[in-house]
């Protein structure tokens, strides 16, 4: 039995300490309790621009040290991998510097502000031979893994329809301030790059590549109070000054997939009453499946082979030991939550680094997602369908 001290170490340096920084810190801290890994994570350093904030985060989340300059962090010789949770405009610069220092990189979605930057990041990572991943966390939930298994085993047959939503309502209030996600120069886009990105990645994961897309979008509220103090997705608004919203509040698009399926997508922050309804419903020649993040342990399924008198959608609670990842947590029916997807990602990424186990989504998947995002934006400009491979 190898003692804990003899095991390989993966020493992590993380950039960002707010929402995603907290979710990722929890994952590094928890993963070893529930998963047998070929290496142990060492939470070596967390980085943030605000010294007081990052010092408090380091103490609270369990990081050994803290930095206020990511350039120092990525150059430290006591760090093996860099986890990037900074806003989207910083992803490329930090990733390229980390890669240049020979670090493996795990980056939050979307991978970059645009397709060209994403491709540059992929090329650099492949050339340097470092491991690279993008945190499309919803792939890593037991019910979504089950959906993938059902489709891959042909249990719902040929796919006719893929319908996806990502419905939130945190911006319906005109008083919600101009957070970084509402500024194009920082976020790249609004609901589209932030949450359609998840829908696009799940569609690619579950049924394959996009062929062509055509979209439309809206910015319902064009100016908002400036942000005085950030908190969660929004924060406290300035009492006096206002600023222009430079991104989409909602983007919808139609898609044709290379396998012939028809796609319908909508991502919005104005779906009043819907808080985090990342959903997909897939209809095939032999059956259908439906999943909703707001009920993330459940998968609704319909199989045409059922006896006619018993035919109907039924709910599978994906908390059995046969359901990927579920068995590592609790006994049957003791459900898991949003944060567990991140634990599963860092588990898989540790095995990718320490045991060269396969891993996806990598920067390649980040590029493919960016390609679809930009094809939709181009289709809106042109008012016409755009083939994804044209970009
Ligand atoms: C806000 O839309 C947000 O936090 C996204 O940025 C995340 O990627 C998503 O998982 C939840 O909602």
Note the pLDDT of residue 232. Answer: 77
How confident is the model at residue 163, as a pLDDT? Answer: 98
pLDDT digit string, tens, across residues 292-340 = 999 999 999 999 999 999 999 999 999 999 999 999 999 999 999 999 9
Instruction: Evaluate if residue 238 carries a pLDDT over 90.
Output: no
Is the C-beta atom of 375 inside 6 A of ligand 1?
A: no
Cα–ligand 1 centroid distance for 363 (angstroms): 19
Distance, in Å, from the CA atom of 91 to the CA atom of 88, rounded to the nearest integer, reads: 5
Mean pLDDT of 84-97: 97
State the pLDDT confidence band at 5, using cuts at 50, 70 and 90.
low
How high is the pLDDT of residue 86?
95
Give per-residue pLDDT as tens, 18-43.
Answer: 999 999 999 999 999 999 999 999 99
The answer to whether 345 and 27 have CB atoms below 8 angstroms apart is: yes
Confidence class for position 376, pLDDT limits 50, 70, 90: very high
* C-alpha 100: how far from chain center: 24
Q: Is the pLDDT of residue 380 over 90?
A: yes
Q: What is the pLDDT of residue 3?
A: 55
What domains are there in the chain, each with its CATH number? 4-137 (3.40.50.720), 142-295+297-336+368-382 (3.30.360.10)
Q: What was the pLDDT predicted at 84?
A: 98
Residues 47-82 pLDDT 10s: 999 999 999 999 999 999 999 999 999 999 999 999
How confident is the model at residue 254, as a pLDDT?
A: 99
The Cα 60–Cα 54 span in angstroms is 10
| Ligand 1 atom closest to the CA of 19, numbered from 1 | 4
Angle 85-89-95 (CA atoms, 0-180°, nearest 5)? Answer: 60
- pLDDT top residue among 6 and 120: 120
How far does residue 230's CA lie from ligand 1's centre (Å)?
15
Q: Give the range among 65-69, 189-193, 229-233 with minimum mean pLDDT.
A: 229-233
Q: What is the layout of strands, in order, in the sheet containing 39-47?
A: 65-67, 39-47, 8-15, 81-84, 104-107, 132-134
Digit-coded pLDDT (tens) for 111-156: 999 999 999 999 999 999 999 999 999 999 999 999 999 999 999 9
**What is the atom index within ligand 1 of the atom nearest the CA of 198?**
8
> 311 CA to middle of ligand 1, Å?
36
Give the whole-angstrom CA distance, residue 172 versus residue 249. Answer: 10
Residue 229 has a pLDDT of: 83
CA distances from 183 to 29, 49, 177, 299 (A): 32, 19, 11, 35
Whether 2 has a pLDDT exceeding 70, the answer reads: no
Top mutation candidate among 111, 195, 197, 250 for ligand 1, by most atoms within 8 Å of CB = 195
Question: According to the model, what pLDDT value does residue 144 have?
Answer: 99
- Give the pLDDT of residue 187: 87
Write down the pTM of the prediction. Answer: 0.96
| CA–CA distance, 350 with 233 (Å, rounded to integer) | 29
The residue with greater pLDDT, 187 or 70, is 70
CA–centroid distance, 57 to ligand 1, in Å, is: 20
Ligand 1 closest atom vs CA 269: 2
Closest Cα to atom 4 of ligand 1: 233
What is the pLDDT at residue 180?
Answer: 83
Average pLDDT, the chain: 96
* Distances from the Cα of 160 to the Cα of 134, 263, 278, 323, 327, angstroms: 28, 9, 20, 26, 32
pLDDT band per the 50, 70, 90 thresholds, residue 186: confident
Q: How many residues does the chain have?
A: 391
Judged against a pLDDT cut of 60, whether residue 1 lies above it is answered with no
What is the model's pLDDT at position 267? 98
């Amino acid at each position: 039995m190898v003692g804990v001290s003899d095991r390989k170490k993966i020493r992590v340096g993380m950039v960002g300490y707010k929402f995603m920084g907290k979710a990722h810190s929890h994952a590094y801290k928890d993963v070893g309790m529930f998963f047998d890994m070929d290496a142990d994570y060492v939470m070596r350093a967390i980085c943030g621009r605000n010294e007081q904030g990052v010092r408090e985060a380091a103490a609270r989340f369990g990081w050994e040290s803290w930095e206020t300059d990511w350039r120092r962090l990525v150059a430290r010789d006591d760090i093996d991998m860099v986890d990037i949770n900074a806003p989207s405009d910083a992803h490329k610069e930090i990733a390229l510097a980390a890669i240049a220092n020979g670090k493996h990189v795990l980056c939050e979605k979307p991978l970059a502000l645009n397709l060209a930057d994403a491709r540059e990041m992929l090329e650099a990572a492949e050339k340097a031979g470092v491991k690279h991943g993008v945190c499309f966390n919803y792939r890593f939930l037991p019910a979504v893994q089950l959906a993938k298994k059902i489709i891959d085993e042909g249990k719902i047959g040929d796919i006719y329809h893929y319908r996806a939503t990502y419905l939130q309502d945190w911006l319906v209030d005109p008083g919600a301030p101009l957070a970084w996600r509402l500024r194009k120069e920082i976020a790249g886009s609004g609901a589209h790059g932030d949450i359609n990105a998840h829908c696009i990645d799940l569609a690619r994961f579950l049924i394959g590549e996009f062929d062509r897309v055509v979209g439309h979008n809206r910015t319902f509220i064009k100016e908002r109070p400036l942000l005085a103090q950030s908190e969660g997705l929004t924060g406290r608004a300035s009492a006096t000054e206002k600023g222009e919203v430079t991104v989409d509040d909602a983007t919808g698009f139609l898609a044709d997939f290379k396998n012939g399926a028809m796609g319908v997508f909508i991502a919005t922050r104005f779906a009043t009453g819907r808080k985090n309804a990342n959903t997909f419903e897939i209809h095939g020649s032999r059956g259908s499946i439906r999943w909703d993040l707001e009920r993330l342990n459940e998968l609704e399924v319909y199989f045409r082979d059922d006896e006619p008198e018993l035919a109907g959608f039924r709910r599978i609670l994906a908390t059995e030991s046969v359901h990927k990842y579920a068995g590592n947590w609790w006994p049957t029916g003791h459900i898991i939550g949003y944060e567990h997807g991140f634990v599963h990602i860092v588990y898989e990424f540790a095995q990718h680094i320490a045991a060269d186990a396969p891993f996806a989504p990598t920067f390649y998947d980040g590029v493919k997602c960016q390609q679809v995002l930009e094809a939709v934006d181009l289709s809106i400009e042109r008012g016409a369908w755009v083939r994804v491979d044209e970009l």
